[in-house]
Chain A
Amino acid sequence: MQSSPGPGAPHRGSWGPLVTRKSVMRSGLAALLVAPFTASSLAAGRGQESGGSDAESSDVAEGRGATDEEIVLGVSAAFSGPSRGLGTELYRGAMAYFNNVNENGGIEGRRVSLKLYDDGYQPDPCVQNTMRLMLEDKVFLLFGYVGTPTVTRVLPILKKFQDENIFLFFPFTGAQPQREPPYGEFAFNLRASYNQETAGLVDNLVQIGRRRIAVFYQIDAYGRSGWAGVRAALASHGERLAGEATYSRGEKFTGSMRKQVEILQGVSPDAVICIGAYAACAAFARDAVDFGLDVPIANLSFVGSENLLKLLTEGQDDAERYTRQLINSQVVPSYEDTSIPAVQEYRDLMTRYDPQVPADLMQEEYAPFPYSFGSLEGFLNAKLMGEILRRLGPNPDRAGLEEAVFSIEDFDLGISERVSFGPDRRQGLQSVYHTVVEDGRFVPLDDWGARFG
């Protein structure tokens, strides 16, 4: 089981010459100009040109998006840039599961493979990758996308091609746009939403008397989604945001967050909730400590906890000062808790396969973690995806995807919470977990009052 790089090669970071903007825009424009019904025939023509077999071409012409040998899932995620750890970890977890499935005969005899493209956590490349996955690669479905600003921009494409029954499964974002009209019907989510994560943080902070809550957020759709969640949660307690500071997407750990710290110091918050990626949030946590903002700093699951921790502790003599105020919410249980069957399975398969992102996608150095919340989420995503593909039966067809998903009821993923889907329930899990750093690793936070009261 190998992931498949794109035809020619996948996009690398800055959307280089491999997939030219013009060529993708041309194909995108063509697709938008002709009716969705004709898209598959156009794609079939290109398939023949790129050397695809007759069998493959006919499959595409039929709009199945799967051959007798293989089901291809399309992925656009961050494998480059400051957030590359998110895409990498999610992919590794998913591949640990799919490698095992493929080694054991696949699903109805079909291998499951991922067609990967790098979007660098940037919306425009993500849109272009999606068009390519749908029109040129003719993938069966979209899977494991990373990020709110990226996914938010892709959703209208799914609506445009709704007659093709292209769905996005289990994106690594808890934002609302893919959970609500008008685009909610084109995506299926496994993880809890940012609204649930922020509500969990706010409720607990308010409960221990920390009512003046400020927000540090990424100034894009992701940040706004979390900001809105915090605002709504505070409103339910009769409170308002104490203050806010922002940063631009793509900020590195080496950047200074002093101005943001000073802005928030000006409103004297009791706690700060960060809605960002690990590099910027780590920089903020560092500067908050360095410039005297000594309050609990909470992060959402998207932050990439292990990467955040690594940045804050690597090479630090007194790392504890930077991490003792951290609270990280998670949407999967701790990967340290081997009493959970799915966690044990995940650890076994991660150890056995140790999946790596294809070298041609990894243009920047990244040392993956043996286990992480991100890869565990990827693993659970893949496990549920596998179950859905199994329920499609021997002749998988996109048209049957929704029905297969809705047949998931009280499904045991191997964690304590069971998964159900339905027309009005397009999110599988609802649980949020809270963790703090102790002895250089994230452990469950059981007593908020004792730690932060």
Chain B
Amino acid sequence: MRIRRLFKWTRFGIFAVFGLIVLSTSILCIYTVDTELSAEYEVNTQNIAKTIADSSAGILLNQNLATLQSLVDQFLEVQGIRYIYITSETGEFLAHTFVPGIPEEILESEHSNTAPVERSLPGMGDFIEVGSPILAGVAGTVHVGMDLDVVALKIQRAIGQQVYLISVMLVLGVLASIWFVNLAAKPLGELLAYAVELAKDGEKDELGERELLTRDDEVGHLARLFLHVSRQGAGRGLPTSVSGTE
């Protein structure tokens, strides 16, 4: 006979508690990773824009645009950076990385703006663009576009790894708790079966020789108590081993 009903709610409770832990941890993790990584990518992009702006001041003043383009090209190798363009103080494009041409949306944008903006460029994707002024803006502005798809992929990957770990822990925790519950349920099942046997054939001698009666735990005590009560009811004396229950 198996003890099911007694632990049904226990199992449910364990699932519920673990599920709640996993859910809340995952939500917190997704929020933290998304927020932190997004902020980090934005800061990195801003730093790159600032680095280019600082490096290009002298180059711009010398009107050495080939060197400026070379500088820009090198930063394009940074993962996630999809485009860079440098405009003069009058808004003229002095260097950029667009192929086959500068997108209309960028041509028409406010080039002195350095605040982060999200752009969706046809045929290219979605970007967050940050700017940095060159010589406080009097020599122009550097704009760097970070591919949001790449950022999103990175964030998804980071979140995926965290959630995967938490899920594995959930499964292991639930399996372990089931195992522990079963560990407790098995002797109770035996006790129940024993009690049923006592109720049916309480006078049989062999019922006083079960291994269950030798257990030194609550189940053993209960088994001995059941036997005692059963035999007392039948007018027999208590077995010596039952004394431990009193």
- Residue A161 CB within 8 A of the other chain: no
Chain A hits for B63, CB < 8 A: 228
Q: Which 4 A-B pairs have the closest CB atoms?
A: A224-B69, A225-B66, A221-B70, A228-B65
Interface size on A, residues (CB 8 A): 28
Contact indicator A176/B99 (Cβ below 8 Å): no
Contact indicator B101/A246 (Cβ below 8 Å): yes
- Residue B100 CB within 8 A of the other chain: yes
With A180-B64, A181-B62, A228-B63 in contact, do A263 and B101 touch (Cβ < 8 Å)? yes
Taking chain A's interface residues, is the majority helix, strand, or loop, or is none over half, making it mixed? helix
15 residue pairs bridging A and B, Cβ less than 8 Å apart = A123-B73, A176-B66, A177-B67, A219-B69, A219-B98, A219-B99, A220-B73, A222-B66, A244-B101, A245-B101, A246-B98, A246-B100, A248-B99, A260-B100, A263-B101
Contact indicator A227/B65 (Cβ below 8 Å): yes
Give, as a whole number of angstroms, the nearest-CB distance from A226 to chain B.
9
Chain A hits for B134, CB < 8 A: none
Give, as a whole number of angstroms, the nearest-CB distance from B83 to chain A.
11
Question: For this complex, into which size category does the number of interface residues on chain B fall?
Answer: 10 to 19
Give, as a whole number of angstroms, the nearest-CB distance from B38 to chain A.
29
Give, as a whole number of angstroms, the nearest-CB distance from B121 to chain A.
14
- Residue B146 CB within 8 A of the other chain: no
Cα A246 to Cα B70 in complex, Å, equals 15
- Residue A223 CB within 8 A of the other chain: yes
Chain A hits for B102, CB < 8 A: 244
Kindly name the residue among B68, B69, B96, B100 whose own CB sees the greatest number of chain A CB atoms within 10 A: B100
With A176-B64, A180-B64, A228-B63 in contact, do A223 and B69 touch (Cβ < 8 Å)? yes
B residues 13-43 near A (Cβ < 8 Å) are: none
B contact residues vs A (CB 8 Å cutoff): 62-70, 73, 95-102
Cα A181 to Cα B63 in complex, Å, equals 11
Cα A263 to Cα B100 in complex, Å, equals 8
Contact indicator A177/B64 (Cβ below 8 Å): yes
Q: Closest residue to B63 on the A side, CB-wise?
A: A228
Residue among B66, B96, B97 making CB contact with A148, cutoff 8 Å: B66
Contact indicator B100/A152 (Cβ below 8 Å): no
Chain A hits for B100, CB < 8 A: 245-247, 257, 259-260, 263
With A225-B65, A228-B63 in contact, do A247 and B70 touch (Cβ < 8 Å)? no
Chain A hits for B70, CB < 8 A: 123, 149, 152-153, 177, 220-221
- Residue A175 CB within 8 A of the other chain: yes
Chain B hits for A222, CB < 8 A: 66
Known pairs A176-B66, A219-B98 / 7 extra A-B pairs, C-beta < 8 Å = A149-B73, A152-B66, A152-B70, A177-B67, A181-B62, A224-B65, A259-B101
